[in-house]
Amino acid sequence: MKHPLDKNLRTQILVLPAKHGDSMIIKTFDNLANKFNIVIDGGPPGTFEEILKKELKSIKLINIIILTHIDSDHIGGLIKFVKHASFNPEQVERYWFNSKNIKFITIGENINSGQARTFEELLIDKGNIKEKWTENIFVGSEPKMPDGITIEIVSPSQNILDKLFKKWPDLSDKYNKKLEDIAISSTKLSQIERGTLEKLALADDTPNKSICQDIFNSSSIGFILRTFDTSVLFLGDAHPYFLEKTLASKGYSKDNKLIVDFVKISHHGSKNNTTNKLLDMIDCDKFVISTNGGNSFHTHPDRETIARIIHHPERVKSKYNKKRTIYLNYPIAIIELKAGKFIHNTDMEYGNWKVIENTRVLENE
């Protein structure tokens, strides 16, 4: 689809190399051909100096900064951005950030909870946020967007946010440990021995944690972005069971699929965040996984996730009639140093699919 005023305009999705985290920038246009820029997460702290700082400097106005949730590999780079001497509050038009008394301090390259200095306080100290702070973003919210751009929220629910806020004080110690960003020096074992992709796609895909047991990731903001030429399902680190429920409530099913051009896969390709049932409800053949292989606590992507993307039941039923592409934002060789070998050459022989590694910019064809 072309822009109504300028056929040369294109939506760009920048998938930044955010280590084991997420950081993406959407550059698009409204119906009047005005630029509209969305920053989604900032990766872990080091992402800011390495790549995000340069990208943000080139953007005159950030229309929305979306912090999907408060894990270090999503919030760290944004805290660095706001704390940097060059931060100009007038550069940011709106913030989307679900939080209640979230406290962080920085120690080296780690984000830790425990001091009375919140992300909100950082923004207040650095500049005026009056009328820029959006109320909680959850399913049922209807964010105001310019003509030609829509955002439909698919995660989280208000109930999940309420649970998050109630549990927050009790989890500070565990969260402090979870946020430690320790480098990995040893090569991980291959994932190939887990089985063929066809076999893994049929294996039990039950997540190892319920929504409430994984409340930080479950509170992730997930949404469908639609512009004049592109539609993307951004899943943050959202829980698959909630996503299944939300899409079903919106009328989507395996017989009435959500049609999008791209899906940003949840939680860096973890097998606990992508189910066959969820994939059966989506009509899309371009999937994005953001990770450099993980950290000392979690490695990703999982071979099981690749298997489900390629061989979930509805795609098998279609006899793989359309070619499917998985985009990785790091070279496979780099990812395998941490996650182990997760794709074998023989995997490519069946299923009508391909992998494009080291992706930096996506545009819809």
Q: What is the 3-state secondary structure (H, E, C) of the chain?
A: CCCCCCCCCCCEEEECCCCCCCCEEEEEECCCCCEEEEEECCCCCHHHHHHHHHHHHCCCCECEEEECCCCHHHHHHHHHHHHCCCCCHHHECCEEECCCCCECEEECCEEECCCCCEHHHHHHHHCCCCCCECCCCCECECCCCCCCCEEEEEECCHHHHHHHHHHHHHHHHHHHHHCCCCCCCCCCCCCHHHCCHHHHHHCCCCCCCCCCCCHHHHCCCEEEEECCCCEEEECCCCCHHHHHHHHHHCCCCCCCCEECCEEECHHHHCCCCCCHHHHHCEECCEEEECCCCECCCCECCCHHHHHHHHHCHHHHHCCCCCCEEEEECCCHHHHHHHHCCCCCHHHHHCCCEEEECCCCEECCC
- What are the residue boundaries of the structural domains of the chain, listed by start? 12-362
Asked whether residue 320 carries a pLDDT value surpassing 60, the answer given is yes
Asked whether residue 107 carries a pLDDT value surpassing 50, the answer given is no
* pLDDT tier for residue 171 given thresholds of 50, 70 and 90: very low
* Burial label, 259 (beta-carbon count in 10 A; 0-12, 13-18, 19+): exposed
Strand-strand pairing, 110-112 and 105-107: antiparallel
Contact call for residues 281 and 253 (beta carbons, < 8 A): yes
Output the average pLDDT for the chain. 85
* pLDDT tier for residue 119 given thresholds of 50, 70 and 90: low
Asked whether residue 180 carries a pLDDT value surpassing 70, the answer given is no
* pLDDT tier for residue 217 given thresholds of 50, 70 and 90: confident
- Rounded to an integer, the average pLDDT of 182-187 is 39
Q: Which of 84-88, 137-141, 162-166, 220-224 has the lowest mean pLDDT?
A: 162-166
* pLDDT tier for residue 182 given thresholds of 50, 70 and 90: very low
Asked whether residue 69 carries a pLDDT value surpassing 50, the answer given is yes
What is the pTM assigned to this prediction?
Answer: 0.88
Contact call for residues 76 and 47 (beta carbons, < 8 A): yes
- Residue 220's pLDDT is what? 85
In angstroms, rounded to a whole number, what is the distance separating the alpha carbons of residues 96 and 92? 11
Domain 12-362, CATH among 3.30.2420, 3.40.50, 3.30.110, 3.60.15: 3.60.15
Asked whether residue 167 carries a pLDDT value surpassing 80, the answer given is no
Stronger pLDDT, 355 or 174, i.e. the higher one? 355
Asked whether residue 219 carries a pLDDT value surpassing 50, the answer given is yes
- Residue 113's pLDDT is what? 33
- Rounded to an integer, the average pLDDT of 172-185 is 35
In angstroms, rounded to a whole number, what is the distance separating the alpha carbons of residues 227 and 3? 9
